[in-house]
Chain A
Amino acid sequence: MFSTRSLKSAAAAIAIAVTVTGAGCKKAKVDPFPASDAVAGWQKTSDTRVFAAKDLWQYIDGDADQYIQAGVVSASTSDYKYKNQVEAVVDIYTMGDQAGAHKILAGDESKSGKSVSLGDEAVAFEQSVTFRKGASLVRIVAYNSTPDSQQALLALAHGIDARL
């Protein structure tokens, strides 16, 4: 015979197991910003700063309006450095929907860029890569360039793509 205490313990264990198993079915939330060396050669050199839509002006006043009109929910940003040679910034905009993200990506500027296979759609320049994945819009910009900086930017972009 099982005692009441034993039955209660078994029930609690089953509940925990169900909860853990259930949680395991969902994709765990992953920080989209790769840690240092998670992408070869790249170091994350600052904390991630997060701005709600209403505070976006504190980060990109002047540019913020077009993101707000496109339905931005929040923006996150962090600095990176590649082999101590290339400094870059990664901005991840969480938009209300993918149409909003597409609207920003499809701006005039993207017409002169090179289309690359990344996320759902992407455009690359020598010193920048912008891509959309679902309702997320990612912009990576290097402050300087080296012969291998474009490849490095794309590698970092793929690292972020895998985390979104």
Chain B
Amino acid sequence: MRPLTIHRKGEAILGRDGLALEALPLEFQRIFPDVSPKYIDNLSLLAAIAAGRAMDKPLEENIRKDFAVIMGSAFGSLDSVVDFDAQALQKGPNTVNPMDFPNTVANAAGSRIGIWLQLKGPNVMLTNGETSFIDAIGFAWEGSNSGLFEHCLVGAVEKLPAFLKSLAAGSPSEAGREGACFLLASAGPKEDSLFQVVDYFALQLNPDLSVPKGFKGRFEGLWDGVEWLGCPETTPLDPLFPRGLIRTSPPSPVRELGLGGLESLIAFISGTASCGIVGAFSKSERKVSFIKINKKKGAVENGSNGN
């Protein structure tokens, strides 16, 4: 299997680097000056800003025609679905603006990135819960190896309806990360590399939290050469991890939701380990997802962060 080389990372995380909800239209227009942000929901604005920040230069037509957009999200377009529905309930179904309707489909954000950047390869949206970000990267790695595309933007986006945040956790600050992150990637080994994805493993565990029989060998083979593990919390698989791994967990108490794994990925990029695994875990769905990643000794993200 070929590695998936990650060249650049672009982020648009609310509350980080001063990014506020109100500033999204302005920041969006800085990146897409020819597109009006009117009628475009916050989910799409966040995704587009992160995608724009991950791209360092315009792409040539021969690259764009097979260039994929792969993204994940736990809640998808739920924020816009409840907004649209609330308008219809409060003022009547014939008063809602039809221009707002496209925001209610989860693939709107990825499709708009495809339209605005003229990316004509597969455009894929995974709503895969709290492992969405890692699963999108895994899909990109497997998809590029299956011959679906050679280049892609891969990432995740999350925006929650305000009223749902109170359901997520004890305090609103712990409710969940909102924002987007995209990685600019291409198939095969490349010089211009932030890191490389070399393997992916994702699994819903058995109801008794064991690894299904047929997947055990695959799980065990994942750990060859791995020196570092970034995983957000304890998982039922902890007793099965090899001994001696350096393990880190993100310090933030905020639930990463669809962006699960992002903090660990950032830690790997800036750390000293050359081979690591980044994981995400969904407790409610008994699901673990891991990507195995490599980077050259001493490589740092200077100039490649896109922020």
**Do A and B interact?**
no
List chain B positions with a Cβ less than 8 A from chain A.
Answer: none
List chain A positions with a Cβ less than 8 A from chain B.
Answer: none
